[in-house]
Each structure stands twice: as structure tokens, then as C-alpha cells.
Amino acid sequence: MTTSTETAKHYIPEDLPTHIQHYINGEFVDSVGGKTFDVLDPVSNTNYATAAAGQKEDIDLAVAAAREAFVNGPWPRMKPRERARVLNRIADAVEAQEARLAELETFDTGLPITQAKGQALRAAENFRFFADLIVAQFDDAMKVPGSQINYVNRKPIGVAGLITPWNTPFMLESWKLAPALATGNTVVLKPAEFTPLSASLWATIFKDAGLPDGVFNLVNGLGEEAGDALVKHPDVPLISFTGETTTGQTIFRNAATNLKGLSMELGGKSPCVVFADADLDAAIDSALFGVFSLNGERCTAGSRILVERAIYDDFCEKYAARAKNIVVGDPHDPKTQVGALVHPEHYDKVASYVEIGKSEGRLLAGGGRPDHLPEGNYIAPTVFADVAPDARIFQEEIFGPVVAITPFDTDDEALALANNTKYGLAAYIWTQNLTRAHNFSQNVEAGMVWLNSHNVRDLRTPFGGVKASGLGHEGGYRSIDFYTDQQAVHITLGSVHTPKFGA
């Protein structure tokens, strides 16, 4: 386990890199033009490294390497079991480095260390899951006895462009890398510029696991430079993107020229609906965890809590009291429950919403920087009650530890409030009424619904949103579908009966 040094301000891991490079065709390289950008940690907001800033020419090199590995390399032609062995070795390596991965992720993102450890294990499980899935994969065959047989030939598509966000970056990269590689594609990964540290570890992990050179390529850089070049590249037929909705709209437009396959998981403003018959204590536990875990920087956060009026006052009082007790502090302290937001730019955005909320709702907890943390990107868990459905803090994605609570009187009103945003990623419903639970789930505009549960997802289930929250689904066989072409092969059995044109 990596040792560390403790400063007066915060924990700093040892052996931090001072420069982060691209990884192209099995080699660590700088940008062709030498451009770099600064990388800071969110506790001190000081730069600890520079990273190579990818431009179009760097993307061109990465795509060329990936294309060569796809067309002429062994990876797409390996048997599923052979690829699965590599994926399992990758999972073994991730698990073996759990402490180091979590340490670096926490330092780079500000996530509490206890939550970062869970992300590393989930990343390993993603690789194991898809290793199993491709070995068990079978394709359809349709028969008409004596007449015809038809079967589906599933093939990898080519170079997949993967663009990932800065919240839980290592784990979310694994969501895309595992199925893309499992199905025989090659990849170019463009990680978020705020958090490039843990992504750089994939290169060595993959190399040591036996992944052929060129199959995995990594280009750091800004979205409008490296990301834009990747989306527009004619030799990249697939783009999988997780991030903010307006960026997704730009990618949609830019991918249209080459008719690329798109999978996009975008923003959210998910409702957590608590009915009067709910298990109140369990609902409060879940509603707190759902918006304040991962510093509130999670796309599926239940950041709009809708509470039936009969229990509204009791819920608000208990919820606010618990929010005030949440431990905010150094991300590396195991007692910390909310750490530092990822970057000063994002801190300023969230802080501005807190100020907006003071005129749009009744402040019950938080409301700004904790008194004991005068530096760093810290915001106390903030709770607003009596928030109107047209308020900005009700409608707009804040992506921080800020929650809006709104009362309702009837099931119809609750459903109308739940659906009253442009987003549709997740929904959380708390009720003991089985009929209500299922009917509400079917009518709520959300790609995923949790009944009497916090955000726990089986890897076999589809992940994705509706409306402004995304396009398409990944997860389980939906990922296999996205990263493969399904070619139908038709064979005639017996005599061929074709109209004799021109006979």
C-alpha cells in the first residue's frame, strides 16, 4: 500500500506524477505540438501536474493506431474466451491496486475515500461481468424447415470513441472500456480534463494484462479540442459519451455528418417521491444518500424531493437535522461523508445556485461554505424547502450537495411534479402501496426507477435516460448491442424460387 505524507492542510499521496501523457499504440507520448494544461487538486486548488493537451493531430494518431489494431491486429479475431482471460486479468489488477486507485481518485476528484474505494471494486466487477457475458453470448437462429435458415452474425464495429466525465472517472471509464473491448473493438478514450490522473493508470494495467498495442489509446485534452476531433473523425464509427446535456447536443450535431452510432448518458434532475405511507426513516436514509453521496456530483442524484403534505413538516425537520450532521472535510479522512467539489469553476457554479436558492426556497440546512473549511471547494449539504416547480433550483441540474423539497397533495400532482423538467434519468419512489408503486413507475418519465430503494443497479439491467437525459441504453446485453453490428445471414434450403425477369 502506498505510503503518504500529511500536510497541515490535507493528505497528499506519494509518487504523484508531475506530467501526464497520452498513450498511443502502446507508448506514452506528449502532444505533437507540445501543448499542455494544468491539473489541480480540489482541496488546495493548486496545480500538482501538467497534462498533455490533445489536438486534432494527436487524435489522428490515436485513431490510426486503433484502426490498424482493428483491421490487422489479433484482438477482434480472438475467441471470446481468449478476450475474457485478458479482461479477467485486468479485473485482477484493478482489485490488487484498489487502495492506490482510491487514493489517487480521491486526491484528484475530492470524493470521500470510503466512496472512492467502492468505485475501484465496481470497476473491476465491470470487467468480470463482460468477460462472463461474451463467453455466454449466443446469437439467434431462425428456421423454416425445408425452406430457409437464418442466423445472426455479431461483429465488432471498429474504433469506439469513449468520452467520460470527471465524477467517479475511473469507474465510469470501466463502464465503457469493458464492453467495448470485450466485443472486439479498439478504443480511443478521452477522459475529462478536470480529472486525468486515474485514467493514466489504465495503460499499464492493460499492457500488463496482455492487451495488444493499439487496442487501447488515451488522449487527454479539452472537450472542445480533443473531444471535438474524436467525435468528428471519419474513422470512429461509435461515440459513447457521459456528460452534460448541452455538450451531448453538440456531439449529436457533430456526429450527424458521418452517421455515427451514439450512446449518450446526459444530465438529470431526478425526483425522489415520498408518500405518506412510506417507511419514513428508510426514505430519509435513501434521500440523504441519494443527493449527498459522491459530493452530490452524480447524474442520478435525487435532487428534487417531493413529499406528501401529511408528512411534509415531519420529513423536512428530520431531513434537515440529518443534513446538518453530515461530516464535511478532507476527502482522505475516512470519517468524511462529503468532500471537496472537483474544481473551482464547478464550485463557483454550485455556490451560485445556493445563492439563487435563498430567494427561491426556505433554507433549512447549509447555505454556503462550512465555517471550519475556509479553503478548498467545500459546500455544506444544503437543503431548501417550499420550492416552487418553476424555480431554477427545481428545474436546473446543480450537480452538487444541494436539494429542493416540494410538497404535494395527490398522486396526480406528484406525478405532474416528477415529470415537470426537461430531464428523465432516474426516479425514486417510496410507498407501501403496491398498485401505486407500479402505476407511478410506469407513468414517470425516467429511464430508471427505484422503488423503496436507493441507487443500486444490477449490471444486467439497462442504464440510460429519456428526454434530455440521454440517447440509447448501455448495460448488460444493451452494451453488447451497441458495440456490435448484427449481420443477418439467410440460407435457402431446397429449391430456389425466384421470379424469372427477362426470361
Q: 216 CB contacts (<8 Å, ≥6 apart)?
A: 23, 177, 181, 186, 187, 189, 202, 203, 206
Say which of 103, 105, 173, 265 is annotated catalytic: 265
Q: Can you give the three-state secondary structure of 275-344, one letter per residue?
A: CCCCCHHHHHHHHHHHHHHHHHCCCCCCCEEEEEHHHHHHHHHHHHHHHHHCCECCCCCCCCCECCCCCH
Q: Are 44 and 375 in contact (CB under 8 A)?
A: yes
Question: In a 10 Å sphere around its CB, with 0-12 CB exposed, 13-18 middle and 19+ buried, how is residue 256 labelled?
Answer: exposed
Q: What is the total residue count of the chain?
A: 503
Q: Which strand (E) or helix (H) includes residue 155?
A: strand 148-156
Does residue 265 carry a catalytic annotation?
yes
Find cell 444544503 and name the residue: 382
Residues 232-251 as b/e (b if ≥16 CB within 10 A, e otherwise) read bbeebbbbbbbbbbebbebb
Per the DSSP assignment, residues forming a β-bridge with 407 are 307
SS3 89: helix
Q: 284 CB contacts (<8 Å, ≥6 apart)?
A: 315, 318, 319, 322
Helices (H), 137-167: none
What is the rounded distance in angstroms from the CA atom of residue 376 to the CA atom of residue 41? 9
CA distances from 285 to 184, 196, 323, 351, 452 (A): 42, 33, 10, 25, 11
Provide the annotated active-site residues: 265
